Amino acid sequence: MTLQPRPSRLKSALLLASLLGLANAASAATQVDNAWVRATVAGQHASGAFMDITASSDSKLVQVQSPVAKNVQIHQSSMHNDVMSMQQVDAVTLPAGQKVSLDTHGYHVMLMELTGQIKAGDKVPLTLIVENAKGEKESIKVDAEARALNAPDHGSMDHGSMDHSMMKH
């Protein structure tokens, strides 16, 4: 059978490619855990994404992309005289080996101009662009689970109860 070598060579090439892919994933410089997105109600145009990010070397989160939103920004919430506000930031600093939480109190990923409703249980694809101190960029893909508005795992300040449409972005 003279045809034998070609498919088997192709197969081993594919196997090699997948092994290399796994090796790349295992050595990824930045780890993302507990990614979730707040589910929305019909007609809501914005939502937040939250996660824990740990970079292996001094880095910064410079951009986030998602197919569910036409405009994705990185925001920082702050309290001034009991008034909550948030503003866009260029990047989030990720010190080497230190877990940085994007949560409902500080930094978060703002998904704006949503293309549709995000329902609890949906998997929302996010691509994080992280830049290290050498200026090298790494993109990390995560599937964030959408959780209901009343998800109980955050503190007294409920980001979800705030009406983003009334906030100055």
Which residues here bind Cu ion, judged by CB under 5 A?
75, 86, 110
Compute the least distance from the CB of residue 46 to Cu ion, in Å: 7
How far apart CA 48 and CA 111 sit, in angstroms, is 6
CA distances to 9, 37, 46, 106 from 124, in Å = 37, 7, 14, 21
Of the two residues 109 and 132, which places its CB atom closer to Cu ion in the complex?
109
How far apart CA 98 and CA 56 sit, in angstroms, is 8
Residue type, 42: A
Compute the least distance from the CB of residue 20 to Cu ion, in Å: 38
Compute the least distance from the CB of residue 158 to Cu ion, in Å: 14
Of the two residues 32 and 49, which places its CB atom closer to Cu ion in the complex?
49
Compute the least distance from the CB of residue 22 to Cu ion, in Å: 35
- Specify the DSSP class assigned to residue 22: H
Tokens of 119: 């329902």
Of the two residues 15 and 79, which places its CB atom closer to Cu ion in the complex?
79
Of the two residues 53 and 110, which places its CB atom closer to Cu ion in the complex?
110
Nearest-CB residue for Cu ion: 75
Q: What torsion do the CA atoms of 98, 101, 105, 110 make, to the nearest 10 degrees? A: 130
Compute the least distance from the CB of residue 94 to Cu ion, in Å: 19
Residue type, 105: H
How far apart CA 167 and CA 54 sit, in angstroms, is 30
